[in-house]
């Protein structure tokens, strides 16, 4: 959950991104600073085949990689299509737009930065039923709060 006062932006590319492009983009964004929370969304890349006759067998996928963002290693679990950011204030938005333009300048597809509300502000009845009253409100609405392994914390911007 989030306080409604914080502005949010969503970075949407016309294509799904390769891990090295994600790495490049995120490192560029991290350098701008002012980011409170960040969520990478896209299609799930499971570690094992989820269904079908080969269910349970390992699923080696070239895009399920560990990337380095700032001083942290991040295990990608999705094919990144959208990056959602929560910012300290609106003054960071022009710098983010500039960074996105810079990263996607040599690509043959476009990428847009949208302003709006992209993270949940209040838990729903379904959230309460699924996760109970003590679910971590910081990540509720972004990922499954029951998931093992918390968020990656990237420090050193201040």
Partner 1 sequence: MNEVKENMAYKPQYGPGTSNVAANRRKQMDPNQKLEKMRDVTDEDIVLILGHRAPGAAYPTAHPPLAEQQEPDCPIRKIVTPTEGAKAGDRVRYIQFADSMFFAPCQPYQRTYTECYRFRGIDPGTLSGRQIVECRERDLEKYSKELIETELLDPARTGIRGATVHGHSLRLAENGMMFDMLQRSVLGEDGIVRYVKNQIGEPLDRAVAVGKPLDEKWLKAHTTIFHSLGGTAYRDDKEYVEYVQRIHTLRTKYGFLPKEA
| Non-local CB neighbours of 113 within 8 Å, separated by 6+ positions | 9, 10, 11, 93, 96, 97, 100
Give me the DSSP letters along 59-101.
Answer: ---TT--EEEETTEEEE--EEEEEEEEEESSGGGHHHHHHHHH
Considering the complex, state which of residue 60 and residue 133 has its C-beta at the smaller distance from partner 1: 60
CB of 55 to partner 1, least distance (A): 8
Structure tokens, 30: 């991290």
Task: Among 1, 18, 36, 41, indicate the residue that binds partner 1 (CB under 8 A).
Answer: 18
Q: Check binding of 114 to partner 1 (CB under 8 A).
A: no
CB of 155 to partner 1, least distance (A): 30
Measured CA to CA, the distance from residue 55 to residue 39 in angstroms comes to 29
Would you give the binding string for partner 1 spanning residues 22-51, x where CB under 8 A is met?
---------------------xxxx--xxx
Q: Check binding of 147 to partner 1 (CB under 8 A).
A: no
Structure tokens, 84: 């959602």
Would you give the binding string for partner 1 spanning residues 61-90, x where CB under 8 A is met?
xxx---------------x-x---------
End-to-end CA distance of the chain: 24
Stretch that binds partner 1, among 23-31, 55-63, 69-77, 146-154 (CB under 8 A): 55-63
Q: What are phi and psi of 113, to 5 degrees?
A: -110, 120
Binding site for partner 1 (CB under 8 A): 13-18, 21, 43-46, 49-54, 57, 59-63, 79, 81, 107, 109
């Amino acid at each position: 959950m989030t306080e409604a006062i914080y502005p949010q932006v969503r970075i949407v590319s016309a294509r799904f991104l390769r891990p090295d492009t994600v790495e490049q983009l995120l490192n560029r964004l991290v350098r701008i600073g002012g980011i409170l929370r960040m969520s990478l969304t896209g299609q799930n890349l499971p570690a094992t085949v989820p269904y079908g006759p080969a269910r349970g067998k390992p699923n080696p996928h070239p895009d399920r990689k560990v990337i380095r963002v700032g001083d942290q290693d991040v295990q990608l679990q999705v094919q990144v299509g959208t990056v959602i950011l929560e910012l300290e204030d609106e003054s960071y938005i022009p710098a983010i737009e500039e960074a996105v333009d810079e990263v996607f300048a040599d690509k043959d597809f476009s990428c847009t930065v949208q302003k709006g509300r992209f993270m949940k502000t209040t838990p729903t009845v379904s959230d309460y039923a699924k996760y109970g009253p003590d679910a971590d409100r910081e990540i509720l609405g972004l990922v499954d709060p029951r998931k093992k392994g918390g968020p990656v914390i990237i420090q050193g911007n201040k």
